[in-house]
C-alpha cells in the first residue's frame, strides 16, 4: 500500500472480478487495483481500497473479469506476415520458409512483428519470448515498442553445419544463414548488451529486452549451447531454446551420445533453474525427473498432446508454461492454448480432469513469468508488480452470467476476442478494442502488400487445395 497518502494514484480500476494469481490464488469478487508509476501500489476488496485513494483516472469495470497479462512463452514473430502461404498437407514448409528468410527485409521483419504483437495483445498477452528468430533485431524491437507490449526477442542463430534435415527441412536455409559458433556467441552477447534484461532501480521497466535465446534442437552445436549457458549464468539470464520437438532429434542424440536430448543437456552441465525448453515433447520419465530436479521450465507448443508428458511434468513439480508457437500456421493466442490444454488432454487421455482450469491459467500467467525469469515483476496482480492487466468486455455473451468464480468461464468459454483493454505498466495500449499507440490501418496495408509480393513469388496455387478463380 505504498500509494496510500502519497497523493493521487495514476489509475484506479474499480469493481473488477480480479483473478489475482497471487500465492494464495485469491479472486476478488469486487476488487480494486491502484497503479502508480507503472506498478500496482494497492489492491484488494473495492470497499477497502477505493476509499484510500484519489486517482488521476478512475474506471468502473462493472464486474468485468480482470487477470494478469498472459505470457506467450514461445512464438516466432517474423513469419506472421506470410501465414496462409504454408503447405497445409505437409510439414515440409521449406519452400516458404526459404523464401521468407531469404527475402526477409527490415520492412518485412517489422511489419510481421507488428501484426504478431497486435494479435497477442488483442488476445490478452502482454509478454512473449522468441527462441531467437530475428534477422533484423532492431526492427523486431521497434515493432514491440510500436504496439507497446513486452517482448524477449533475439537474433536468428544457426551454427550447426548441415545438421538440419528430415521433416524439419531447414537445410537450405541453414546453408544460407548459417554462422560460425563464434559469430553465434557474438550475436548472443550483442543482444543481451543492447537490450538489457534488467534495468537499475528507478529506471523504466523495458518493453523489449533480450535474453540468451537459441534455436536449439539440431540447429546449434553443443559448443554454442555450452557457451550460451555460461553467458546466461554470468549475466543471471534465462536460457530459452527449442528442445525435444521431434523424434528425429531424439534418434540423433541417441546415435551420437547414447543419451536422450535432455539427459545429454544434464551430462554437459547445461541443465539448471534458468533453463526453459520450448516444446519438450519427446521426453521419457527420466528426462521429466531431470527437469524437475534442475528446476528447469518447459513450454508447451504445437504437437504436445499425443506424446507429450505435460501432466506428468506438472505432477513432478516442473514449471510448465504455455507457448502459442505462433507464426507460420499457428495463431498467437495463449488463451486458446489454455482451452486446448484442458480440453484436449482430457479427451486424449480419457480422464477428467487431466489439466485443471486453474493449472491452465497458472501455466499462462505465473508459470510463464517464471519460465522467462520474470516472476518477481510479472505473472500476477500483487502490490509491487508491474501493472500488466487484461480486462474482458461485458459486451460478449460469454461474460455472462457474472459468476463469483470466473476461472472456468475464462479458460473454457471466453473467446480471447472478448479482451476489451490491455494495460502494460498501467498504460492502456489497447482500450475499447483499439490500439492506442499507432494506426492499425497502416500496419494492415503494409502487411497486405508484403504478403501479396510473397504470394506472387512463392505461388500460393501450389499449396491451395481448391481452385483459385481469378
What residues make contact with Zn ion under the rule CB under 5 A? 325
Compute the distance between CA of residue 275 and CA of residue 271 in angstroms, rounded to an integer.
6
Pairing of strands 389-392, 319-322: unpaired
Q: Which residue's Cβ lies closest to Zn ion?
A: 325
Q: How far is the CB of 450 from Zn ion (least distance, A)?
A: 22
Backbone angles phi, psi at 56, to 5 degrees: -65, -30
CB nearer to Zn ion: give 325 or 362: 325
CB nearer to Zn ion: give 65 or 101: 101
Contacts for 234 with CB less than 8 Å, ≥ 6 apart? none
Q: What is the largest CA-CA distance in the chain?
A: 68
Q: Which long-range contacts (CB under 8 A, 24 or more apart) does 360-363 make?
A: 360/322, 360/411, 361/19, 361/21, 361/67, 361/407, 361/410, 361/411, 362/21, 363/300, 363/320, 363/321, 363/322, 363/338
Write out the three cell numbers for 337: 492454448
Compute the distance between CA of residue 324 and CA of residue 350 in angstroms, rounded to an integer.
24
Q: How far is the CB of 215 from Zn ion (least distance, A)?
A: 8
CB nearer to Zn ion: give 14 or 83: 83
Q: How far is the CB of 324 from Zn ion (least distance, A)?
A: 10
CB nearer to Zn ion: give 72 or 325: 325
Q: How far is the CB of 107 from Zn ion (least distance, A)?
A: 23
Q: How far is the CB of 133 from Zn ion (least distance, A)?
A: 8
CB nearer to Zn ion: give 3 or 326: 326
Q: How far is the CB of 327 from Zn ion (least distance, A)?
A: 8
Q: How far is the CB of 120 from Zn ion (least distance, A)?
A: 15
CB nearer to Zn ion: give 325 or 333: 325
CA-based radius of gyration for the chain: 22
Place of cell 536455409: 173
CB nearer to Zn ion: give 93 or 435: 93
Residue 468 parent element (H or E): none
Pair 147, 443: CB distance under 8 Å: no
Amino acid at each position: 500500500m505504498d500509494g496510500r497518502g502519497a497523493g493521487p494514484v495514476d489509475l484506479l480500476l474499480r469493481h473488477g472480478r480480479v483473478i489475482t494469481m497471487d500465492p494464495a490464488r485469491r479472486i476478488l469478487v469486487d476488487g480494486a487495483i491502484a497503479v502508480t508509476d507503472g506498478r500496482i501500489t494497492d489492491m484488494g476488496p473495492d470497499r477497502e481500497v477505493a476509499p484510500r485513494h484519489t486517482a488521476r483516472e478512475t474506471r468502473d469495470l462493472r464486474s468485468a473479469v480482470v487477470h494478469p497479462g498472459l505470457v506467450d512463452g514461445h512464438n516466432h514473430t517474423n513469419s506472421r506476415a506470410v501465414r496462409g502461404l504454408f503447405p497445409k498437407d505437409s510439414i515440409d514448409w521449406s519452400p516458404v520458409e526459404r523464401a521468407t528468410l531469404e527475402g526477409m527485409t527490415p520492412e518485412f521483419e517489422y511489419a510481421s512483428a507488428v501484426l504478431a504483437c497486435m494479435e497477442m495483445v488483442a488476445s490478452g498477452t502482454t509478454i512473449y519470448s522468441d527462441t531467437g528468430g530475428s534477422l533484423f533485431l532492431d526492427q523486431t524491437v521497434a515493432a514491440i515498442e510500436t504496439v507497446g507490449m513486452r517482448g524477449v526477442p533475439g537474433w536468428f542463430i544457426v551454427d550447426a553445419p548441415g545438421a538440419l534435415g528430415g521433416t524439419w527441412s531447414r537445410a537450405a536455409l541453414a546453408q544460407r544463414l548459417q554462422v560460425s559458433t563464434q559469430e553465434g556467441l557474438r550475436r548472443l552477447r550483442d543482444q543481451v548488451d543492447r537490450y538489457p534484461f534488467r534495468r537499475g532501480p528507478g529506471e523504466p521497466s523495458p518493453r523489449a529486452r533480450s535474453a540468451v535465446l537459441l534455436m536449439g534442437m539440431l540447429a546449434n552445436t553443443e559448443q554454442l549451447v555450452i557457451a550460451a549457458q555460461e553467458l546466461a549464468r554470468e549475466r543471471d539470464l534465462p536460457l530459452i531454446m527449442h528442445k525435444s520437438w521431434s523424434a528425429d532429434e531424439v534418434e540423433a542424440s541417441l546415435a551420437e551420445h547414447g543419451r536422450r536430448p535432455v539427459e545429454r543437456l544434464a551430462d554437459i552441465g547445461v541443465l539448471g533453474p534458468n533453463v526453459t525448453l520450448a516444446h519438450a515433447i519427446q521426453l521419457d520419465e527420466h528426462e521429466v525427473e531431470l527437469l524437475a530436479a534442475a528446476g528447469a521450465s518447459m513450454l508447451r507448443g504445437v504437437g504436445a498432446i499425443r506424446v507429450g508428458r505435460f501432466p506428468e511434468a506438472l505432477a513432478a513439480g516442473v514449471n510448465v508454461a504455455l507457448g502459442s508457437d505462433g507464426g507460420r500456421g499457428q495463431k498467437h493466442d495463449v488463451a486458446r492454448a489454455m482451452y486446448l490444454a484442458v480440453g484436449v488432454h482430457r479427451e486424449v487421455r480419457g480422464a477428467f480432469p487431466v489439466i485443471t482450469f486453474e493449472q491452465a491459467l497458472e501455466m499462462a500467467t505465473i508459470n510463464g513469468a517464471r519460465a522467462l525469469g520474470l516472476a518477481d515483476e510479472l505473472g500476477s496482480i500483487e502490490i509491487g508488480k508491474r501493472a500488466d492487466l487484461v480486462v474482458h468486455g461485458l459486451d460478449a455473451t460469454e461474460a455472462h452470467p457474472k459468476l463469483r468464480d470466473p476461472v472456468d468461464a475464462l479458460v473454457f468459454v471466453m473467446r480471447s476476442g472478448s479482451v476489451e483493454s490491455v494495460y502494460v505498466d498501467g498504460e492502456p495500449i489497447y482500450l475499447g478494442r483499439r490500439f492506442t499507440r499507432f494506426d492499425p490501418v497502416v500496419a494492415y496495408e503494409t502487411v497486405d502488400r508484403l504478403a501479396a509480393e510473397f504470394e506472387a513469388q512463392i505461388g500460393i496455387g501450389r499449396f491451395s487445395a481448391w481452385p483459385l478463380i481469378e
